[in-house]
């Protein structure tokens, strides 16, 4: 499958008669150890990585290119709305977005995490996201998840942020400590430092 074809799938999805456009990407590992991505199920690409509605024309006109990040101010109203709804500091939401996607609303990780707050499809669905590539939808769902983690870990922001990156199960398994994953070990202090600086806490 060519890179051009894959890009067309991600951006354009598939259209059936009378059906909405849906982007689906399947992945797997070939016998040689190479990562395989495809828009159809095959022996080497059996795992559904992405299944999401395609961005509408009006939305694509307002979002930056896939590689470009927008200004934080472009999402400020959504962040303030999420802050009020989820009872989280707006500075913390900003810190997570900056670390997760650098304010790129179309960010897509190799693991399938999507949008500003890099929601995995299962997490997005769990917290009410309809389209993770829509900035408002993504921020509200991501903030609901972060609020849930704060409550689950008794308002311990360090553990909540660690769980946002690694999953709550990993934090519990680590004895309610930051899991011993290099990515998470770097992620937590980065988010917290950005939060503290923005909030004027040191």
Domain count, the chain: 2
CA nearest neighbour of 50 among 121, 1, 103, 106: 121
Same domain, 108 and 135: yes
62 domain residue, yes or no: no
Same domain, 107 and 77: yes
61 domain residue, yes or no: no
Backbone angles phi, psi at 144, to 5 degrees: -65, -40
Same domain, 175 and 89: yes
Same domain, 51 and 72: no
Same domain, 103 and 171: yes
Same domain, 30 and 107: no
Would you call 100 a catalytic residue per the annotation? yes
Same domain, 106 and 24: no
Backbone angles phi, psi at 16, to 5 degrees: -105, 165
pLDDT at 202: 67
pLDDT at 14: 42
Same domain, 50 and 79: no
pLDDT at 66: 43
- Which residue is catalytic, options 44, 73, 100, 193? 100
**Measured between alpha carbons, how far is 83 from 46 in angstroms, rounded to an integer?**
38
Same domain, 101 and 195: yes
Same domain, 83 and 121: yes
pLDDT at 176: 98
The Cα-based distances of 174 to 151, 161, 191 in angstroms read 18, 14, 20
Same domain, 155 and 179: yes
Per-residue pLDDT of the chain (202 residues; tens, 9 = 90+): 444 344 333 434 444 444 445 567 767 777 766 776 777 777 776 777 766 554 433 333 334 434 456 899 999 999 999 999 999 999 999 999 999 999 999 999 999 999 999 999 999 999 999 999 999 999 999 999 999 999 999 999 999 999 999 999 999 999 999 999 999 999 999 999 999 999 998 6
Domain residues for the domain of 172 are: 67-199
Chain-centroid distance of CA 191 in Å reads 15
pLDDT at 51: 65
pLDDT at 47: 78
- Output the six-digit token pair for 134: 């829509």
Same domain, 72 and 27: no
pLDDT at 121: 97
pLDDT at 157: 98
pTM of the model: 0.67
């Amino acid at each position: 499958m060519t890179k051009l074809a894959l890009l067309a799938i991600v951006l354009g999805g598939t259209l059936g008669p009378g059906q909405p456009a849906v982007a689906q990407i399947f992945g797997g590992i070939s016998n040689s150890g190479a990562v395989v991505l495809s828009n159809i199920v095959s022996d080497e690409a059996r795992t559904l990585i992405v299944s999401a509605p395609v961005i509408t024309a009006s939305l694509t006109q307002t979002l930056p290119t896939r590689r470009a990040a927008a200004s934080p101010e472009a999402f400020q109203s959504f962040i303030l709305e999420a802050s009020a709804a989820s009872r989280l500091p707006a500075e913390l939401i900003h810190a997570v977005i900056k670390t997760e996607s650098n304010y790129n609303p179309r960010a897509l990780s190799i693991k399938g995490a999507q949008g500003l707050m890099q929601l995995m499809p299962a997490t997005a669905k769990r917290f009410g996201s309809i389209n993770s590539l829509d900035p408002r939808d993504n921020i509200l769902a991501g903030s609901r998840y972060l609020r849930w983690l704060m409550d689950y870990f008794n308002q311990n922001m360090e553990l909540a942020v660690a769980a946002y990156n690694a999953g709550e199960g990993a934090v519990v398994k680590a004895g309610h400590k930051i899991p011993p994953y290099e990515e998470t070990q770097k992620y937590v202090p980065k988010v917290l430092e950005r939060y503290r600086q923005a909030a004027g806490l040191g």
